[in-house]
Structures are given as C-alpha cells and as structure tokens.
Structure 1
Amino acid sequence: MTTHTTGTRHDWLAARIDLLEAEKELTRRSDEVARQRQELPWVRVDKDYRFDTDAGSRSLADLFKGRSQLLVYHFMFGPDYTAGCPSCSSIADGFNGVTVHLENHDVAFSAVSRAPLAKLQAFKQRMGWTFDWASSFGSDFNADFNVWFTEQQQRDGGIEYNYRREPPMPEAMLTRAQPAGHEGPEGLLAGMTGTDVATYTRDRPGVSGFVLEEGVIYHTYSSFARGVDSIWGVYQWLDRAPKGRNENGIWWRHHDSYGRG
C-alpha cells in the first residue's frame, strides 16, 4: 500500500490547478531571467584563440560557421582523462537533436574541451555523437573563460569558479597518485574518467555565448556548475516523473555503461 497521498480525480484536478499557477509564475520568471541575460553588456574578444577540429585548425570566428551567434558547451575532458566526464556526457547526449535546430536559427554550437582532438574523436565515436567538438589543447581559451585551473591555483585557493572563490584543496587530495574511485561523489566521477579528484576538478563545466557583429566577436554570457542544469535534459524529465529526481548519490553513467557490474 502506498504511503503517498491519494485522492479522487476531483482532488487531483483541484491540486493540479493550484500547481498550474505556480508553474505559470515560474515560466514568467524564466522569461524575465532570459531577458536579463540578453541585456548583459557584451565584452569584446580580441585574443586569437585556435582550436583543432574535424575540419582542421580553426579560429573562434570559424566556429560560428557563417552564423551571427555561437553557443559553447565547456565539456570536462582534460588531456589526462581516459573518458569524458560522465555528467557532461549525460548532458551531451541531448546535443545531437538540438544542434540542427540551433543552426537553422542563426546559432552555431560547439562543445570545447582541452583534451587533444584524437581523444575527443574516439570518445565521440564511442558515444555515437555527431555535434561539433573542438579541442582547445594548448590554448588559453578554457582558462580565460574560467573552466580550467592549475594545480597551483588549487593549492593556493586561487580558483574563482561560478563567480566565487574556492578554498585551497586539501594536500591529501592533491598528492593522490591513483584514481580516486569511490571517495565521495567527485571521487566516483573522477574514477569514471580514469583520473584522481585533483586532476578531474581542474576542468569545470559551463556554457558560454558569443556574438559576431561586423567582424568583431563579443562574449555575451557564461554559466557554470548548477547553472547548466536547465540544459541537462534527463533532469527536466525526472522533475516531471512521479518520484522526481529520487537521488541517492551519483547514479548516472556513460550511456553505454549501464548494466555493467
């Protein structure tokens, strides 16, 4: 017998109508926040960033592919990773179907990671993805847009991510030589990328927007950490499921890893 509240169809409809008002208010608030995003001042980008892509070496302007807008997903895949971050991978599972619609609405899309292109291509093939994925290996791009940090920054408490400064990482985590595996959520995720916690967390997730006008690129927007939740498709579905997110720790995996021991 369920312990959840039950009722008649009439009870359900009355409660649903009450909820509808809250949902409508959330939608209106979301529209207002989107408007505020679009009103942020634009910052000119003058540095000549270069990326390795399936089509060869490309500039940031080239990633627009003739369009006026560019959205970048900062995918956690550092040079030392053996696989992409499972959280980023779960988010990226929704990119294939979205990209064609963005591109036909004057918006280019590319994921960008620090790992060499060959690693990205191999993992992309494994996952069955088709979206553009550029390597920023050897570039300042990830550091400049606050999604990559050095070991020294970890030691010194010099990481400013998601618009706040982090404390120094404990020395025991910085000196670990073996994959962390199962030491808390970050350790579990690090283990799935073949790294330790310190190495894994030097790369961070995020979304950045750019616009190209009269040959000039401007940075328009960036969001990090849980700021990317709204593009994590599985959570939008779970928030509408009977038991919601129903989480107890890290439950998601690379999509080809479910069912393994």
Structure 2
Amino acid sequence: MTNHSTGTREEWQAARLAVLKEEKELTRQSDVLAARRQALPWVRVEKDYRFDTDKGQASLKDLFDSRSQLLVYHFMFGPDYEAGCPSCSSIADGYDGIVPHLQNHDVAFWTISRAPLEKLEAFKRRMGWTFPWASSGGSDFNADFSVFFTEDQQREGGVEYNWRREPAMDVEALAGRIVQQWEQPGEETPVARIAAMTGTDVATYTRDRPGVSAFALQDGDVYHTYSAYSRGMDGLWGMYQWLDRAPLGRNEQGVWWRHHDRYGDAQAHDCCR
C-alpha cells in the first residue's frame, strides 16, 4: 500500500492542470531569460589561447571550425587527476547525441580541460565518448574563465567562483577532506568522495571547477558572450531533468552517481580499482 496520496483519474487531471499552469509560466520565464542571455554585451577576446587537440595545436578561433558560434564545457580534469570528475562525466554522457545537431546549426562544441591530451583521450576511450575534447594545459584559458585556481589562491582566500569569494583553505590540513561548511560529521564528505573517484584529494580536486562558456566569431574577432557555473548549469545535466519528472524526483542522500562504467562496483568511489 503506497504512502503517497492517491485519487481518481478526474482528481489527478485537475491537479495536473494546476501544475501545467505553473509549468507554462516557468517555460515563458525561461524564454525571457534566454533572450536576456543573448542580449548580454559581448567582450572581445584579446589573448591568443592555444589548445592541444587530436588534430594538433589550435587557437580559440580554430575551435569554431568555420562556424560563427562556439559552446565550451569546462570539464573538471586537472593534470593530477587519474580520471575525470564523475559529475562532469555524467553530464558529458549526453553530449555525443547532441553535438551533431549543434554542429549542423552553426554551433561548434568543445569540452576543454587542463589535463594533458593523452590523459583526456585515454579517459574518453574508457567512457566510449566521441565528442571533441581539447587540452588547455599550456594556456591561461581556465584561469581567465574562472574555472581554475592555484594552491596560493586557495590558501589566501583568493578563489572567486560563480561570482562569490570562498573562504581560505588550510590546504595541507584539508588533504582528503572538504572545507568546513560542507562537512558532514561521522561520514566521508560528498566532495571528498567525488575527489576520490578522480584519484585526488579535496584541495587538488577543487582547484578545477565546472562551467560553460559561449563565444561568437564575427568579422574575424572572437567574443565572449556568456558563462555559467555551479547550478547555473543544472539544465545541462540531463539525468536530473529526467529525475525531476520521475515519481520520487531526485531522491538523493549524498553522492549516488558514478562514472557510468563503475555502477555495480562495490569500490566504485575508488577510480584506481
């Protein structure tokens, strides 16, 4: 016997129509927000960023590949990681089906990380992905777009992510742990567990951050048009959009997701097994 409220088909229909009204309002507001994103002023990109790709070195302009728009996912995969961030990986699981549609709608798509290309390519093969992935390890690209921070910035309270300044970290004391406000007494912390899946400690793991950025190419110049971080990317995390429509919703207690090839592994949080 279910503990959830039950009713007749007619009662369900009436309740569903009430929710539908709110869904339509949310959809209209989403359209308004999309228009406001597109109306943001563009900022010309002055630096000549260089990337390593499977086709050789490329500039930011090269990544457009004859298109006028470029979307970049800033994937958390630092040089010291042994595997990509499992959260970024779960988002990336949906890319392969989307990329051809974007490319045929005048939008280039790239995932970019700081790890060396060989490490990215190896992880890409492991996960069975085919989308474009570039290494930015030799440039300031990640730092300039607020998805990489140094150990000194962590220690001195100089990390400003998602337009918020974070408190200073005791980097040595926090090796394998998470900053105080995220700790859960008596159990492994969520960020510590995710860091373990990448083969790193918390301090190393959190120097890289996730984000999405958009660029435009016009008259030979590249412009930065948009960036979002943290839950600003929630709509891109496909599994959550489905869970929000499932009977129990997100139904989360801590970190439950893993690299898709690690489900069923009792030691899934250890990427090295």
TM-score range, shorter chain: over 0.9
The residue type equivalent to 2:152 in the other structure is: Q
Give a deviation string over 1:112-151, Cα, whole Å, max 9, x none.
0000000000000000000000000121000000000000
Alignment check: 8 A CA contact 2:171 2:203 kept: no
1:195 aligns with 2:200: yes
* Deviation at residue 183 of structure 1 after TM alignment: 3.1
Q: In the alignment, which of 235, 241, 250 is matched to residue 236 of structure 1?
A: 241
TM (norm. structure 2) is 0.93
Match of 1:65 in 2: 65
RMSD (CA atoms): 1.2
Matches within 5 A, 1:46-61: 46-61=46-61
1:250 aligns with 2:255: yes
1:156 aligns with 2:161: no
1:34 aligns with 2:34: yes
Alignment check: 8 A CA contact 2:48 2:59 kept: yes
List gaps (5 residues or longer) in structure 1: none
TM (norm. structure 1) is 0.97
* Deviation at residue 180 of structure 1 after TM alignment: 5.2
The residue type equivalent to 2:51 in the other structure is: F
The residue type equivalent to 2:31 in the other structure is: D
Match of 2:17 in 1: 17
Matches within 5 A, 1:142-221: 142-174=142-174, 176=175, 179=176, 183-221=188-226
Q: Distance in 2 between matches of 1:170 and 1:161?
A: 18
Give a deviation string over 1:161-208, Cα, whole Å, max 9, x none.
00111111135544x3xx559730110000000000000000000000
Aligned residues: 258
Give a deviation string over 1:187-241, Cα, whole Å, max 9, x none.
0000000000000000000000000000000000000011111000000000000
* C-alpha spacing 1:84/1:171, structure 2 compared with 1 (3 Å): closer
Q: Distance in 2 between matches of 1:244 and 1:172?
A: 38
The residue type equivalent to 1:158 in the other structure is: G
Q: Distance in 1 between matches of 2:138 and 2:55?
A: 18
Q: Distance in 2 between matches of 1:46 and 1:162?
A: 22
* Deviation at residue 159 of structure 1 after TM alignment: 0.7
Task: Give secondary structure in 1 for the equivalent of 2:262.
Answer: coil
Match of 1:115 in 2: 115
The residue type equivalent to 1:29 in the other structure is: Q
Task: Give secondary structure in 1 for the equivalent of 2:6.
Answer: coil
